[in-house]
Amino acid sequence: MSTSAIETKVKGIIADQLGVGEDEIKVESSFIEDLGADSLDIVELVMAMEEEFEVEIPDEEAENIKTVGDAINYITNHKK
Partner 1 sequence: MSHRRVVITGTGVISALGTGTEKNWQTLLAGKSGISPITRFDTGKLDTRIAGEVKDFEAEKFIDRREVRRMDLYAQYALAAAEMAVKESGLPIGPDVPHGYTPEKVGVIVGSGIGGIASLEEQHRKGLEKGFDRLSPFFIIQMIINMAPGLISMKYNCKGPNWAPVSACATSAHAIGEAWKSIKLGETDAAIAGGAEAAITPLGVGGFSVMKALSTRNDDPTAASRPFDKDRDGFVMGEGAGILVLEEMEAAKKRGARILAELVGYGANSDAYHVTQPAPEGEGAARCMRLALESAGMRPDEVGYINAHGTSTPFNDANETKAIKAVFGDHARKLAVSSTKSMTGHMLGAAGGYEGVVSALVLSRNALPPTINQTSADPDCDLDYVPNQAREARVDAVMSNSFGFGGTNAVLLFKRF
Active site residues: 38
In the set 3, 22, 47, 54, which binds partner 1 (CB under 8 A)? Answer: 47
Question: Using an 8 Å Cβ cutoff, are 1 and 71 in contact?
Answer: no
Give CA–CA dist 50/46, Å, rounded: 6
5 part of the interface to partner 1, by CB under 8 A: no
Residue choice 17, 30, 73, 76 for contact with partner 1 (CB under 8 A): 17
**Residues interacting with partner 1, by CB under 8 A?**
17-20, 36, 40, 43-44, 47, 51
